[in-house]
Structures are given as structure tokens and as C-alpha cells.
Structure 1
Amino acid sequence: MRTSAFFSLVAAAFSVNAVPQLEKRAAPVIDDTTILNYALTLEHLENAFYTGGLAKFDEAAFVECGLPVWARGRFVEVGEHEKTHVQLLQTALGSAATKPCNYSFPYNDAKSFAALSQVLEGVGTSAYTGAAQFITSKAVLTTAASILATEARHASWIGSAVNKGPGWSGAFDVPLSLNEVFTLAAAFITSCPSTNPQLPVKAFPSLAFSSPAPGKQSTLTFNATGTSSSTPLFVSFFTGLSQEFAPLKNGKVTIPGDLLGTVYAVVTTNGTMADDSNIVAGPAVLSFPFNSDGNLISQ
């Protein structure tokens, strides 16, 4: 999206606390079953998102918001893909399959539904990319790669054809860790069945930016519980396969001026490499649309 409404939506979507019962750490065993249940957790969420949104908004609702007349029909196809992903993973896992949770999504019209869809599909792409390193079975890896490719196609179509922005952020997508993805997903989860298998993940505190723009200063909102006030903090911006850093001073950061597309940001105690061991808060999802000349589109 090209307006500040997109940033407001994203900030609202990821500003709630993670579900307490999901933060319990299981034994740190990450095998193919764990990864399949991790993927199924995300696919359940996406399936619920499309099922609920499409039941609420008909074709007229999409057109009234200025979206193409054919957009809803394509979103129906996307929703069917997510439903099929759920069915495949459930079949593969059998009785070990995690069950769907209860969810809450902050859309209020078809336009905000489309904007949040772009965010979720982007997170899904980064989730599969980041989890690939843990898969041992070639058959499972091939299936995950096939789902990953489809999630990326979804994100590209929604970003360009529907939301009229770029269909990609650059030559590479951002691989996110299990914990980083879970932090983003947990913002939409209100409760889960107690019988669900515990995933070896934790949610970091939420992170929000005020009016983020490349080259501009932004005020951050987060809870730095457990971090000393004297500890130097940095903001790491994940872009493609790289990280860019900026010091956090008095709750403010100057966002690097060269960032484009979808960027994930975390607060960290390490100024050279952010990972699960030193992340204080985040990730937050930032979007900086650009034109075909590679120039930032004014918000």
C-alpha cells in the first residue's frame, strides 16, 4: 500500500502480546515433525484469515474500496491454496498434527484485508525460507520448497496487482528464524487447544515504529524487560540476506536511507549481528514501496 494507512495497519497488527501458553519452551528438539507442525501452525492461521475475510467481504466490498473487480475471485483461489496446504500437512502428520487456534485479525474492510494479506504471505515466505535449514528429509524439503514458491507467488501478486506496489523487495527474500516468525504469528492468536504439541519457540516483545521512512528518524515503542538501562541498543534491519544497523538513542532511531521493499526490524544488544540470542524486541514489519527505477515512492 502507498499510504500511511498501511503502516497503521501493520503497527496495530503486531502490537498485541503473544499468547502466554504458546511461550512455554519445549525440549529444543527440531526434527522434521517439529518443522511440519511449525508450518501447519502458520497454514492454519492463513486458512482462518482467508476463510473469515472472504466470508465477510463480497465482490462489491472489494470494488467499493477501489480494488479490481477480479481481486476477490483470486483471493478465493489463494484461500483454497492455504486450505490445501493445511490438508497436506495434516495428512503427513496424522495424529501428531497440531490443531487450529482461535484468531483475531485487525481488518475492517476489503482494503485492509488485502494489505494484511500481503504482510501474512510475506511472512509465510520468510518462514519457509528460514526453516529450510532444519529439514533433513529430501521429500519434506521438496514439498516445503513447493509451498514456499506458492507463498511467494501469492505475496508478489497481492503486492503488485492488488496493492499496486512492487512485487518483490530485491534479489533475495529475508529468512526469518522460528522465534521471529512465531512472534509475528502470535499477534493474531488468542488461544490454542491445550493438547497441541508445544513448539520449541518463544515470542519476543512486540515492537512498533512511528511513521517509519528511510532516512528519517522514528520513535520506537517496545518493552525492554530484562535489559539494563545502561546496555547499548541497536536496531537491526533485515533486508534480503543482509542486516543493516543503526544505534537506538532515547527511544529513537534513524532508519537507513537505502532500504526498499519489505524490511523486518528488531531491537538488539549486538551492533553487528542480530539473532535469537540478543534480540530484545521485534520483529516489526516495515514497508517501503519503490518504483521500477528503484526509487522510493513517497508515502
Structure 2
Amino acid sequence: MARNPLYLALLAPLVHYAKAAPQAGNAAQITYADGVVVPATPPVRTGMPVSHGPFTGVATMTGALTAPTVLGTAITGRPPSSAATTYPSDGNLHDPMLIPYAPGGGLGTNGTAPVYNVKSDFDYQSLALALYVEWFEMDLFRYGLSQFSQAEFAAVGLTPEDLYLIQFMAEQEIGHATLISNILGPSAPKQCNYNYPFTTVSEFLDFSQKIARIGESSVYGFLPHLDSRAAASLLLQSIAVEARQQVIFRQFMGLFPMPVWFEVGVPQSWAWTLLAPYISSCPADQTRLAWQNFPALTIVNQPNPVLTNGSMAFNQTISPGTNTLNSTGIPSNQSCVNATTPLADCKAAISSNRTIPLSAAGREVSLTWDLPGKQVGPENSYITTSQAGPAKFVAWVTQLNITYSPLTGLTGGGGGGGGNMTGGGNATNTTGTMSGKTIQPDLSTFMGDPAINGTIFIAITDSNPYLTPFNLSLINPHVVAGPALYQAG
């Protein structure tokens, strides 16, 4: 039986049997002492010459990709099946073994050859979103390097070796984009044009670590739900590298590299909401996405990591959603980049421990958010929408926790909600903003690990449904605005 060329291309990186490692620089032609000879897969090519800046044209189509039939407006939560807790979990073996030393059970363990393709609309749209992120990161890292001098990078503690690491991370994205493009096939999304908000090195680093968080956390959110377990195994290997990238950018900012015990996963629509505003245009035949774009959420007093006392920041962000820090206009005596005290310094370091935390439980957080109906994303062709009712809570999504704090001091028109949720993007074209306040909660999943730390996600919701990491996407019909990235630590 003839094999799918796509299958062979994806299998190539997985074939081993080498007795001698290839010499450096000869990766394109690998010769093995015995076994299978596999040439390296050429990288995927970009779809257009990349430019930077806002989109200035008129959208030729609007709204997210939608199916002819939409079965409902929300998925109702249900209890687990009666068989969900029947396995004894006593440490003994209860199922037959296919072969010695192979406990019974598991998916894809019966010898059937894996096929690394997508098997559902959910798979395709999830991997397409991931590919949008990979293209974005590749260009972002390269563009950031091109915009600033070595002296500007040196001012925040970065050496030429550090800059090469950023360059190498861009090269990693070539591999990630190639992998996902091969899985998706000819209709895979291509590279676009982008509109980045940063103008300084510190802003570039902050924006990059937040984009890396978006890419990493969105894959954690959908990976367990993919119908194609074979494709999920490859994507897992790429996201392990993305996680390291996020840690590295935190280190470049003088932040503690991983102040959490668990990393958070979020729904695809959350990632698309945060990413789309920075994509100005794409090739004419670009594959569109089905995910929702929620109204933008701004954290008015977002903690600013370049301040000695970052928790005192107010109106020091340059864009909603990511809430990227603004480093311009900060007096020299308030900048932690210039601090001489070790526990106040925020220059690049393997590990940093700041005297004054960026945030803490009990902190009042001020928020503003858009009403639905704004055009965003490539060619301004996606429309922000919300199915939710009036705004009542702030959802804090971090580590293994989804918790809620009351929203108070509401001002503005409408109270949230509104819009036609047919999926075509025909939302009520409403202008204006809402505002409110909340108190940062004090919670832990396990004692000794404050749940709210690091780079986390918050959103405005109309209710406080009980959800856990595996079914977090059920929160989407309740989202009034957001998510936003909150720099908790």
C-alpha cells in the first residue's frame, strides 16, 4: 500500500538507528552507519514579504469562520460518567498485557502505525491557531533584534551571546512552523504582516515573554483535547521549547524565571483575542480561524517590572490585552534597571529575587474594557463579540486554579454583553468602554504555593461557574471582556 507523503515527511525526524552522530553543519545530509537514511525536511517558506505597521485598508470580509450549522450557544456542564472512578488505583495490574513489561491500556500502544495528521475541525483550527503564533514569534524575535543597538541591549544587561540566543529562538520557530504546516497541509496559515507596540528594549522583552506565555498556555489548553493523539505528541515536543523561551525572556527582564509550581492552560479563543490585534494583514488566500475575539481588557494599574516598586504603576502600559509595560518617561531614580541594590536590580539575570513584589493578595486592581463590536485582527476583518450578560466578576486563571473576585465600582454604558453570536461576527457595533475594580485574591492550590504569581490571565465574567483546567473552555459564554495578561510576579 502506498504511504501518504505527508506521513513520511513527518516520520522522518523520528527515525533513528544511527551509530555515529552527524557532523555539525551537515544536518541537511545525514548518513547513518546502518538502518534508515532520512534527508532533513526543508523548512516551510513564508507566504509574503513581511512588513510592519497598522493595516490601512478596508476589510473584504468580516467575522470568524463558521459552520453552516451551529447547534447551540453554550455547552452545559454535566457530571462525569458512572465509569469515571471504577479503576481501583491500588497499584496492582488488572488488565491483560499485550507483551511483557507493558501494562494494559493506553492510546496508540497496540502497534498501529501513527499518522500525524488532523482528524477533526477542532484539531485543524487548534493547530492553525498554534501556527499563527509560531509565525508571529519568529518575526517578533527577528524584528526586535533589528530595532535596537547592542548598546541598548547592554543597558538592560544583555550581551551579544544573549542576543544570539534570541536569534536562535527565532530559528526554533522555523522548525515549529514547519512541523505544524506539514501536519495541516497546503491550506496551512502562512506568515502575515505585524504591528508591534514596543519602542524600547524593555518593552520588546516584556511583549515577547507575554507572547510566549500566550502560545505556551493556549497549547496546554487544547493539547489534551486533540482527536489526533499522534499530532499531539509532536506538538508537545515543540511546546516544551516554547516554555523554555518564556522562562528565558523572564530572565532577560530580571524576573524570577518560574515563580509557579504549575503552568496555566487557556482556551483557544483567549489566545486569538490576545494575538489578533497585532496582526495587520495576511496573504489573500489565508486560512481564517473559527475562534472568538472577545472585547479588549486593560489593567489600568498593571504592575510594571521596570519600576523599583512595580506595584505602584498606573497607566503604564502601551496596549490592552497583553498590557505590555511602558518604559518611556520613567525617572532614572525609579527604574530598577539602574538600581544598585541587588534586591532591587532588574537587569538580566539567571535568577532574581526582588525586595518589593510586583503584586500581592489584597491589591486593588483597576480595569477598563471595550464593549463588543470592534474590528480587529488581519485586515480588521474579525469582530469582537460577547455572549455574556452584565459584568459581575473577575476570573483569575493561573496554575491549577480558576477563581473569581467580585467586580465593584462599575461605570460606563451597557454593563457588558451584547452582540449577535451566530459566529459570523455580526456583533452590535457599540463604542465606548466600561470600568471597574476588584481585589486580588489570596489563594493557593497546595500550601506553600500562592496561586497568583508570574504572568497570568484574568477576564471579566457575568457569573462564577465552577471549572477546572480540563473544562475551562466552558467559561467562554460567560466572558464579558478579556482576557488580559496580569503581571502578578
* Cα distance between partner residues in 2 of 1:91 and 1:229: 37
Matched, 1:248 2:407: yes
Q: Distance in 1 between matches of 2:258 and 2:299?
A: 22
- Pair 1:99-2:190 in alignment: yes
Distance change (3 Å), C-alpha of 1:65 and 1:195: same
Q: Give the AA of the match of 1:174.
A: V
Query: Is there any run of 5+ residues in structure 2 with no aligned partner, and where?
Result: 1-57, 71-119, 303-358, 373-384, 410-435, 444-451, 467-473
Q: Which has the higher strand share?
A: 1
Any conservation in 1 of the 2:393–2:463 contact (CA below 8 Å)?
yes
The aligned counterpart of 1:9 is: none
For 2:180, the equivalent position in structure 1 comes to 89
Match of 1:223, as an amino acid? D
Number of aligned pairs?
270
- 1:231 — aligned with what? 390
d(CA) in 1 for partners of 2:387, 2:125: 34
Contact preservation (8 Å) 2:386, 2:477: no
Partner of 1:217: 364
- Preserved contact between residue 62 and residue 71 of structure 1 (Cα < 8 Å): no
SS at match of 1:96: coil
| Corresponding residue number in structure 2 for 1:276 | 476
Greater alpha carbon shift after TM alignment, 122-131 vs 101-110: 101-110
- Give TM-score scaled by structure 1 length: 0.82
Corresponding residue for 2:128?
37
- In 1, the alpha carbon distance for the partners of 2:392 and 2:278 equals 27
State the Cα distance separating 1:227 from its structure 2 match: 8.2
**Within 5 Å, which residues of 2 pair with 1:159-170?**
159-160=250-251, 162-170=252-260
Greater CA drift, 148-157 or 61-70: 61-70
Name which of structure 1's ranges 254-263 and 20-29 shifts more when overlaid on structure 2. 20-29
Residues 174 and 238 in structure 1, CA contact (< 8 A), matched pair in contact too: yes
- Offset of 1:131 from its aligned partner? 1.6
Q: Distance in 2 between matches of 1:33 and 1:243?
A: 27
Q: Map 1:39-78 to 2 at 5 A.
A: 39-78=130-169
Partner of 2:107: none
Greater displacement, 230-239 / 198-207: 230-239
User: Is 1:151 equivalent to 2:216 in the alignment?
Assistant: no
How far, CA to CA, are the matches of 1:237 and 1:31 in structure 2?
26
Letter aligned with residue 151 of structure 1:
E
Aligned-partner residue type, residue 157 of structure 2: G
Pick aligned residue for 1:264 from 451, 457, 467 = 457
Distance in 1 of aligned mates of 2:157 and 2:192:
32
Whichever residue aligns with residue 440 of structure 2, its letter is I
- Aligned with 1:276: secondary structure? helix
CA distance, structure 2, for counterparts of residue 157 and residue 229 of structure 1: 37
Aligned partner of 1:183 among 273, 282, 286: 273
CA distance in 2, matches of 1:234, 1:142: 36
Partner of residue 205 from structure 1, selected from 282, 290, 295 = 295
Structure 1 residue 139, shift from structure 2 partner: 2.1
* Counterpart in the other structure of 2:225: 134
Q: CA deviation at 1:97?
A: 1.1
Offset at 1:22?
6.7
Give CA-to-partner distance per residue, 1:87-141, whole Å, 9 cap, x none: 2222333311112222111121222211211111111110110121332223211
C-alpha distance in structure 2 between counterparts of 1:42 and 1:66, whole Å: 28
Q: Secondary structure at the match of 2:475?
A: coil
Q: CA deviation at 1:232?
A: 5.1
Report the Cα offset of residue 208 of structure 1. 0.8
* Residue 40 of structure 1: how far off its partner (Å): 0.8
Deviation at 1:245, TM superposition (A): 0.9
CA shift digits 1:8-44 (9 cap, x unpaired): xxxxxxxxxxx97574232276343332222111111
Of stretches 60-69 and 188-197 in structure 1, the one that deviates more from structure 2 is 60-69
1:102–1:189 CA contact under 8 A, matched in 2 = yes
| CA distance in structure 2 between the aligned counterparts of 1:187 and 1:105, rounded to whole angstroms | 9
3-state DSSP class of the match of 1:187?
helix
Q: Deviations over 1:134-175 (max 9, x none)?
A: 322232111110011000011112213x12212224121111
3-state SS, counterpart of residue 245 of structure 1: strand
Task: Name the aligned partner's letter for residue 263 of structure 1.
Answer: I
| Counterpart-to-counterpart distance in 2, 1:272 and 1:141 | 29
For 1:42 and 1:283, locate their aligned partners in 2 and report how far apart those are by CA, in whole Å: 17
Distance 1:140 1:72, change over 3 A: same
Question: Corresponding residue for 1:195?
Answer: 285
AA paired with 2:188? A
With the length of structure 2 as denominator, give the TM-score of the two structures.
0.51
Give structure 1 stretches of 5+ with no counterpart: 1-18, 290-299
Structure number with the bigger relative contact order (C-alpha 8 A, sep ≥ 6) is: 1
- Structure 1 or 2: more helix by fraction: 1
Secondary structure of 1:277's aligned partner: helix
Asked if structure 2 preserves the Cα contact closer than 8 Å seen for 1:67 and 1:111, the reply is: no
